Amino acid sequence: SIANLFNLTPGVEGGGAPRGNGLKVGSVEMLLDGISVVDRFGGGVQRVQPGVDTVTLTRKVEAALADIGKTLPPDVKIFELFKQANFIEAAIQNVEEAIRDGAIMVVIVLFLFLLNFRTTAITLTAIPLSFVVTGLYFKFAGISINTMTLGGLAVAIGMVVDDAIVDVENVYRRLRENRHAASPRPVLRVIADASSEVRNSILYATLVIILVFIPLFALGGIEGRLFAPIGVATIVAMIASFIVSLTVIPALSSYLLPQMKSMGDEKDGWLVRLLKGFDLRFILRPSMRHPWVVIVLAALLVAGSFALYPRMGKLFLPDFNEGTSTVNLLSAPGTSLAESNRIGTIAEKLLLGVPEVLSTGRRTGRAELDEHAEGVHYTEIDVDFRKSARSRREILDDIRRQIGQIPGIVMNVGQPISHRLDHLLSGVRAQIAVKIFGPDLDQLRLFAAQAEAAMQGIPGLVDLQIEKQVLIDQLKITVNREKAAAYGLGAGELNDQLEIALNGRIVAQVLEGQRTYNLIVRLNEAARTNPAVIRDILIDTPVGGKVPLALVAEVRESKGPNIINREDVQRRIVVSANVSGRDLGSVVAEMQKTLGQKVHLTGTYFISYEGQFQSQQEATRIIAVLAVFTFAMVFLLLYSHFRSAVIVAPEGYLLTNHHV
């Protein structure tokens, strides 16, 4: 989705609450295909249709708005607030740079080891040819070129030359031996035999790599959608590389290698000779003299690597730097729109005081028909940044300090895409969601307060807050069934009439030109908020009479929760938080230990820990199980070739762990 792609703001550039020009934004909707939702009141392009290229559509929107801007009044300016296309282009550019740098390093390493332009050129043909085949497969399968598919190619760039370099090096060696043989054989026969010698090794190495990447396809949810393209790109590139090594590489070798002058020299390149001498003198001979020392050291290193795993930081996804930020502010439920607007304006001014903040755009409240409907006590501010020497963490900490000056509010600082991922995972716009379930709302609020107090001192935990659930003034109408029955009224019929009077019902439609309006019947605003008037509402009886509501129901003012949230048919309250300066896994582990010691739930009350770490743990379990399966498959694959468990066990272990 493109959240608030553009804002049309009268007289404001870089701040203030957006008040959109509905006609002009609607014009964008009419001009362009691919836009799914246009916010005519907030002045933003909210969402694109599935399958539409975001970057292409963004450019069309920019062109359309540039034309529209020429017709706008002088006090209306168009400014960009958040464009997902910028994040997409930056991510793709970063991966493209990684592929470019990787290719350059491969060229340098190949030339240093081969010290031959022709063999290096033949080997390097595997990279573009493998990527071209992968691109053709993407086109056929309907897969887009995105950050993850390009990431898969970046991972594969060093491996796609493996097959080619093994084949070229063996062909080169055999041709050189054939040149110095007493009775040289035909060149094509030498090349064919040299390629056949290493064909099985190339095939098994390729299959091992493919097996290692297969567990990515078993991941579900967001992690599966993100990492499966990496597996697809890598596997297709490896298969293409294998095919290239069987066909193109021998053909090029037959044309470029036989007539080389360097064939007369039986020596390896100077770097290879140097490394072989070093290996023979300092590694190979000492290892053969003291094999148990090598075995024990290797075992200790393996054991040490496993021992370090529990101490390593754990994250579900790496931190994205989207170039923008989203600041959510929550006031007490029941706060008026005017007060929320005042608080939002103060927050924007504080944000604009941060040196890196370029512009802000604010939404206070969300309409009832919005997918994420919120009361007017909720404010969401999109923040755009300029480049700075400070790190992203320092900037976000500065934002938290600035917004923390406003009393009586809680905040949540994140990023547009990351927030939506969090909301998709746990239903909460935060990395960690501690959900407390139980039947009684008062007890839930008490346990939530205890959990918040216990979590306060945990290092790395920021934006800690309890879901806003407070008691507000309410008007309760309780039907007296006995009195209602005396007038021939049932509780359902009585509630139906009250719903029409207080909530309204569509009874007709009014057609005005090309527009249709619903005609709703209900009491006016003054009557619907006055308990005395509600008590005097006349209720129709089945016999045609009318009776005041006060005779068949009790109408009284009381306190009640502003919202009752349920999940899996149970009431729940959420304590949410984000993480800054520490890894997610260690923070959650400390949080679970602390809550287990300090929050003692009773009866049917229980806690559920959800958010990014839950997905990370689930993905880790799946990969751990599939890693065992993959290791077994690698073992069987190599055993089918070597027919020796003594040879397969260490080789399979090293191959699998190298590629993992």
What's the sign of the alpha-carbon dihedral 94, 95, 96, 99?
Answer: positive
What tens digit of pLDDT does each residue of 222-279 get? Answer: 778 878 888 999 999 999 999 999 899 999 999 888 877 766 665 677 888 898 889 8
The three-state (H, E, C) secondary structure of 29-54, written as one string:
HHHCCCEEEEECCCCEEEEECCCCCH
pTM to 2 decimal places: 0.70
- DSSP E strands in 486-552: the ranges are 505-512, 515-521, 538-540, 546-548
pLDDT tens for each residue of 145-154 = 777 888 888 8
Q: Smallest Cα–Cα separation from 114: which of 262, 232, 226, 243? A: 262
Instruction: Judge whether residue 96 has pLDDT over 60.
Output: yes
Measured CA distances, 214 to 236, 402, 558, 601, 617 (Å):
12, 47, 60, 43, 19
pLDDT on residue 594: 92
Q: Where are the alpha helices (DSSP H) in 279-365?
A: 285-289, 291-308, 337-352
pLDDT at 650 over 80: no
Helices (H) and strands (E) in the chain, counts: 23, 19
Residue-wise pLDDT for 10-56, tens only, equals 333 333 333 333 333 344 444 455 554 444 444 555 556 666 777 88
Quick check: 467 and 574 in contact, CB under 8 A? yes
Chain centroid to Cα 323, Å, comes to 15
pLDDT tens for residues 355-411?
999 888 888 887 666 666 778 888 989 888 888 888 888 898 899 999 999 998 888
Q: What is the pLDDT confidence band of residue 571, given thresholds at 50, 70 and 90? A: very high
Alpha-carbon distance 449 to 91, whole Å? 41
Per the prediction, the chain carries an average pLDDT of 81
Tens of pLDDT along 147-174?
A: 788 888 888 888 888 888 889 888 888 8
